[in-house]
Structure 1
Amino acid sequence: MRERAVQRHDRLLALVRLRGSARVTDLAEQLGVSPVTVRRDVEALAGKGLLDRVHGAVSWPRQRGAGGRAPIGEGRVLGLLAPSATYYFADVIRGAHEAAARAGARLVLRISDYRPEEDPARAEGLLAAGAEGLLVAPGWRGPGDPAEYGGWVAELPVPVVLLERNVPPGGPLAGLDRVCSDHGHGVLLALRHLRGRGHAAPLLVARADSPTALAVREGYAAALRVLGVPEPLPVIDSVPAETDPEGFERAVRELRAAVASGETTAALVHNDVDAIQMVQRLAELGVRVPDDLALVAYDDEVAALADTPLTAVAPPKREVGRQAARLLVERLRERGEGGGGARGSAGGDAVSGGAVVGGTDGEPAPRRHLALLPALRVRASCGAGRGAGGADGDAAGGGAGGEGVGDGRGVTG
């Protein structure tokens, strides 16, 4: 796959930041491109004030300092590394931008396109752009990605807040601040609602290609235990219809067979896009929603726009971004006042329920693992409130959500 200019720029900035200065010919050799390409890149980056040019060489701007900080007197710069700027993360980014603006800070964005191996270079690009602290949502997909691709986050030289990413206990990232949606709670809301409407064993249809998908699966097993559901049916593995139409058809037919046999009368489907397409295909196969199958989607990104508006779990995306940005700003304030360390794991003031919580006796505030509760939006697909978009009585938390890559596949989490 051909490297994009922004990716090459990030690698170039990382090399210069590490060395302090470098010759254009040396950079061309290390980047694997021609000197002409490097000169063109240097000209573009120097025009933005990110590099200084000196007689066939480039150097790190002296006015920024080794940490890449903006000159004194300017507003703070926050960096945000996200796997996508659409679907789920559009609202996360919007919330972070709003909170940064209220604090007088500027938000700088880098997108990894769900390529976790490229996350370190994207983060270096944010530091090179002057970011004093980072909001980081690594482009992980599988359960082994945090261990394989996460160690670099703990080594960042600035305060860090993880976004919508849980990490294994005891690992190098476990001590970092993080703000996440509690997807387990969201799944419990959905199953409790379906059980309350008389459905004995709601089935889960879900992908396994993202952190949110994995969290929904874990939450499903835990929710069934809480609700005392005996011998639940196995999870039906879903895949994107656009990239694997045969796999998607298998999932639809497996769900149809479960309905036809009487094994289930309700299902939770992750995500919205899959749920809408499944409802359409099930209708062609003679299964009607909600008459034959009560259905709840997980995301609430486009669920309300289906022919039969879908009841959906709505993670509080925008509030996740807001809370994370507020927390990062307070960490930076504490650091500026001499109260915190240099690493991303440094202590500082924290945010709890929208309020800033400081430490006592001049000590840094403890780090925070802030879990925000999703809401349940009840519509017609579960057999209640047809055509209505009101919230269920069990609803908790804030706005709609659903994470996905920017190529339209709707890969969530």
Structure 2
Amino acid sequence: MRPHVDQRQARVLALVRERGTARVADLAGELGISPVTLRRDVEAMAARGEIQRMHGVISRLGSDPAGAEPGAAAGTGAGTERGAAGPVIGMVVPTTEYYFADVVRGAREVVEARGARLAVGLTRYLAGEDRTQADRLLSTGADGLLLTPTWQAGTPGPGEGAWTAELPVPTVLVERWAPPGHPAASLDRVASDHADGAARAVRHLADLGHKRIALASRETPTSGRLRTGFAAAVATLGLEPAPAWPATGAASSAAAGTAAGAASLAEAEAFARTLDYLCAAVAEGGVTAALIHSDTDAIMLIPRLQARGVRVPEDLAVITYDDEVAELADVPLSAVAPAKREVGARAAGMLLDRLEDRAAGREGPRQHLDLLPRLTVRP
């Protein structure tokens, strides 16, 4: 039978008072409880002023955490049992490829420059894997988390994501946001303002004289914000609305036997639907320009559009969204580029600042930071 929480915390307090300092991971093993459970206890005890906590090390009140050397500044990690490595920052992302490669790179540069270490967990967009990876990183000693949950719309769905606000360490959402009233809305977050990015593209195309502009994007965590910004810009600029995006048809049963086959079929159907939509929008809907998300879709679509009689850019001017490979197209494409590297860097800096504030007994206001994308115009 597990000891009552009060008894467990009393045991932790007795050990810390006896030894002066102790590492959370070591105490968890000694007491036979999970690091996540012990971290929750430590947070509660620190909030009550019973112990001091800093970067995975706890100490009795009035002592230098983890035997800090005289003159070492609190919160720097100097002289701790981790040595020069400082705190460990856990980062949960869907992938380290394509879009998130730069996000992770930006975070790593800031983390390492400030004497900390970055540990990454990948979810591959698998359901439930966010929580699994977060718990794994916490169990191995992460002092804070940079978290990109697998929320299909970029925001939590009904009944989704409340656990992110209950984590026992400071957490920053990266390229995700939660609406007011959701528990995760209380977390720090750093994200690209994709709505602004879409609006920048529309504004540029309107300045070139285009009156009817289309948006072509499959369903991604980015697409909802793109649609919001796109629609707002069309309305603000008084442009003519493009034909409505086609409703998603029923999935074919040809590949129902395997999840991988179904996903592949769904992607092929989405691509074909986008191609049909753009061809009809130009031929029948008077559309002369389009914002296409993403670059890879645009590069694949353009030769197929031309094969069906839609010339690019003569009949359809194209701006892509993401700017990962837009300049590598046969004719380099203008593109909107979210500040991916800076998002990772700002998120890491925000989290490290939060850890230092906590170590110093401060608790500043939570922050929601949106970074504006950049439009690169290519001839």
TM-score, normalised with respect to structure 1: 0.68
What is the percent sequence identity of the aligned residues? Answer: 45
Is 1:158–2:169 an aligned residue pair?
yes
5 Å matches for 1:206-285? 206-208=217-219, 210-235=220-245, 244-261=267-284, 263-285=286-308
Q: Equivalent residue for 1:170? A: 181
What CA distance in whole angstroms lies between the structure 1 residues aligned with 2:221 and 2:290? 21
Q: Which has the larger radius of gyration?
A: 2
The amino acid across from 1:171 in the alignment is H
CA contact (8 A) 1:298 1:313 kept: yes
How far the C-alpha of 1:115 sits from its partner, in A, is: 2.1
Q: Equivalent residue for 2:52? A: none
Distance verdict in 2 for CA 1:156–1:216, change over 3 Å: same
Local SS of the residue matching 1:264: coil
CA contact (8 A) 2:154 2:176 kept: no
Is 1:203–2:211 an aligned residue pair?
no
What CA distance in whole angstroms lies between the structure 1 residues aligned with 2:268 and 2:131? 34
The amino acid across from 1:320 in the alignment is V
Is 1:112–2:84 an aligned residue pair?
no
CA contact (8 A) 2:153 2:222 kept: no
5 Å matches for 1:290-309? 290-309=313-332
What CA distance in whole angstroms lies between the structure 2 residues aligned with 1:285 and 1:276? 15
Q: Equivalent residue for 2:352? A: 329
The amino acid across from 1:309 in the alignment is P
Q: Equivalent residue for 1:344? A: none
How far the C-alpha of 1:334 sits from its partner, in A, is: 0.8
How far the C-alpha of 1:288 sits from its partner, in A, is: 1.6
CA contact (8 A) 1:204 1:236 kept: no
CA contact (8 A) 1:206 1:238 kept: no
5 Å matches for 1:305-320? 305-320=328-343
What CA distance in whole angstroms lies between the structure 2 residues aligned with 1:175 and 1:98? 26
* Cα deviation 1:259-317 (Å, max 9, x = unaligned): 12351100011111111111021121121211111001111011111111111110000
Q: 1:79 aligns with which of 85, 90, 98?
A: 90
How far the C-alpha of 1:236 sits from its partner, in A, is: 5.3
What CA distance in whole angstroms lies between the structure 2 residues aligned with 1:139 and 1:302? 24
What CA distance in whole angstroms lies between the structure 1 residues aligned with 2:152 and 2:28? 39
CA contact (8 A) 1:146 1:167 kept: no
5 Å matches for 1:86-165? 86-142=97-153, 145-165=156-176
What CA distance in whole angstroms lies between the structure 2 residues aligned with 1:85 and 1:330? 24
The amino acid across from 1:212 in the alignment is T
What CA distance in whole angstroms lies between the structure 2 residues aligned with 1:321 and 1:143? 16
Distance verdict in 2 for CA 1:377–1:241, change over 3 Å: farther
Distance verdict in 2 for CA 1:159–1:268, change over 3 Å: same
Q: How many residues are treated as equivalent by the alignment?
A: 305
Q: Equivalent residue for 1:410? A: none
- Give unpaired runs (5+ residues) of structure 1: 1-19, 21-48, 340-363, 380-384, 386-413
Distance verdict in 2 for CA 1:327–1:237, change over 3 Å: farther
The amino acid across from 2:221 in the alignment is P
Local SS of the residue matching 2:311: coil
* Cα deviation 1:117-161 (Å, max 9, x = unaligned): 221111010101211111111011147744433011010011111
How far the C-alpha of 1:226 sits from its partner, in A, is: 1.9
Q: Equivalent residue for 2:191? A: 180
* Cα deviation 1:166-196 (Å, max 9, x = unaligned): 1111111111110000011101110000011
What CA distance in whole angstroms lies between the structure 2 residues aligned with 1:51 and 1:335? 22
Q: Equivalent residue for 2:56? A: 69
Local SS of the residue matching 2:302: helix
What CA distance in whole angstroms lies between the structure 2 residues aligned with 1:237 and 1:269? 17
Distance verdict in 2 for CA 1:269–1:241, change over 3 Å: farther
* Cα deviation 1:33-64 (Å, max 9, x = unaligned): xxxxxxxxxxxxxxxx978999xx994699x9
Distance verdict in 2 for CA 1:52–1:174, change over 3 Å: closer
The amino acid across from 1:125 in the alignment is R
Distance verdict in 2 for CA 1:243–1:222, change over 3 Å: same
What CA distance in whole angstroms lies between the structure 1 residues aligned with 2:158 and 2:234? 29
Distance verdict in 2 for CA 1:103–1:173, change over 3 Å: same
What CA distance in whole angstroms lies between the structure 1 residues aligned with 2:275 and 2:361? 58
- Give unpaired runs (5+ residues) of structure 2: 1-7, 9-23, 40-54, 58-65, 67-79, 250-262
How far the C-alpha of 1:235 sits from its partner, in A, is: 3.1
The amino acid across from 2:364 in the alignment is A
What CA distance in whole angstroms lies between the structure 1 residues aligned with 2:98 and 2:358? 34
TM-score, normalised with respect to structure 2: 0.74
Local SS of the residue matching 1:81: strand
CA contact (8 A) 1:50 1:60 kept: no
Q: Equivalent residue for 1:367? A: 366
Local SS of the residue matching 1:174: helix
The amino acid across from 1:163 in the alignment is V
Local SS of the residue matching 2:173: strand
Q: Equivalent residue for 1:193? A: 204
